[in-house]
Structure 1
Amino acid sequence: MKRFHVHVVVPALEESVRFYTGLFGAEPTVLKDDYAKWMLDDPRVNFAISSRGGAVGVNHLGFQVDSDEELAELREHVVAASVKVADQPGAQCCYASSNKYWSQDPAGIAWETYHTLGDIPLFGADNRQASTATSEACCAPVTSIPAVIGRQVNCG
């Protein structure tokens, strides 16, 4: 079953955690010094916030799926619509290991579709291992998606 995903960059994490905890009526399921995530069932959404740079506001949208088979099925739909896809198997970011792909809508909004494989202790292992400049996004292969070049896209 798919879960809608929203990632928002916030200027003050503690203040935003307090706001979203009240809005959702639930504590975050993941809470770090620079990141928080709510896995809500009603509505079924994975809502994440971070204070790790980038422009304040919606960072990216996406879908979290329960299996690699479901991930492949959604990828086929996007490719059939002639949308460019940037695959990112085994991504290590946002305190999770995931198989994923990125696409973008015509307005340039990044879309992440992913299957989480497990938790990791770091926010951005991919970012630390990248061979490109520090503007390389955590999890997003920005060089493969032209509209997000130069934008920091956080994952998760």
Structure 2
Amino acid sequence: MNRFHVHLNVADLSSSVRFYTELFAAEPTVLKADYAKWMLENPRVNFAISNTGQPPGVDHLGIQVDSEADLAILGQQLDAAGGAVIPEEGATCCYAQSNKLWTEDPQGTRWETFHTLGEATTYYANQAGCGDEGVACAPVKPQQSATPTRSKSCDSSTSGCC
């Protein structure tokens, strides 16, 4: 079953963790120095917050799926919606390994559809020595590139990152 995903950038992680722990009446399922995630069943949502140098507010919305087949179906739906769809296979982001498809709605809100393959030990791929402080996990915005690409944070030609 699909799960709605919300990712917020926060200015103060510890106060935000306290707030959302009380709001959801649940401890985070993942808690790191720069990231927290709640996998809630009611409502069924993957709610994540991070403090990685991005301005506070909604970073992106998304849908998490249980299989690659479900991801392919969502990819077809994204394509039919008319936005540029940017695949990101084997991405390391938010302490997880995932295959993703990114797009933006007509207002510029970023949407991530993804299938999580497993856990990761860093927020970003090759975080140690990466040199890209505050980079986002999302690839280049769809309107900036009509061909599949990865963001600066996941471009292997950029300082050995990702």
Query: How far does the alpha carbon of each residue in 1:23-74 deviate from its partner, in whole angstroms, 9 at most, with x for none?
Result: 0000000000000000000000000000001110111000000000000001
Q: State the one-letter code of the partner of 1:84.
A: A
Name the counterpart of 1:18.
18
Q: Does 1:74 align with 2:74?
A: yes
2:120 & 2:12 partners in 1: Cα distance?
24
Name the counterpart of 1:99.
99
Partner SS, residue 40 of structure 2: strand
Deviation at residue 144 of structure 1 after TM alignment: 4.4
CA contact (8 A) 1:100 1:114 kept: yes
Deviation at residue 106 of structure 1 after TM alignment: 0.7
1:126 & 1:89 partners in 2: Cα distance?
16
What TM-score do the two structures reach when normalised by structure 2? 0.83
Name the counterpart of 1:89.
89
CA contact (8 A) 1:37 1:49 kept: yes
Aligned CA distance change for structure 1 residues 9 and 82 (closer, same or farther; 3 Å): same
Partner SS, residue 82 of structure 2: coil
Runs of 4+ in 1 over 3 A off after TM superposition: 126-130, 133-138
2:49 & 2:37 partners in 1: Cα distance?
6
**Any stretches of 5+ residues in structure 2 without a counterpart?**
146-151, 154-162
Query: How far does the alpha carbon of each residue in 1:100-138 deviate from its partner, in whole angstroms, 9 at most, with x for none?
Result: 0100011111000000000010001166798xx938944
Partner SS, residue 11 of structure 2: coil
Q: Does 1:8 align with 2:8?
A: yes
Deviation at residue 145 of structure 1 after TM alignment: 4.3
2:48 & 2:134 partners in 1: Cα distance?
20
Query: Which moves more between the two structures, 81-90 or 33-42?
Result: 81-90
Name the counterpart of 1:60.
60
Q: State the one-letter code of the partner of 2:89.
A: P
CA contact (8 A) 1:94 1:123 kept: yes
Name the counterpart of 2:140.
142
Query: Which moves more between the two structures, 11-20 or 76-85?
Result: 76-85
Q: Between the two proteins, what is the percent identity of the paired residues? A: 54
**Any stretches of 5+ residues in structure 1 without a counterpart?**
none
Deviation at residue 140 of structure 1 after TM alignment: 1.3
Deviation at residue 142 of structure 1 after TM alignment: 1.2
2:108 & 2:91 partners in 1: Cα distance?
22
2:135 & 2:33 partners in 1: Cα distance?
19
Query: Which moves more between the two structures, 43-52 or 134-143?
Result: 134-143
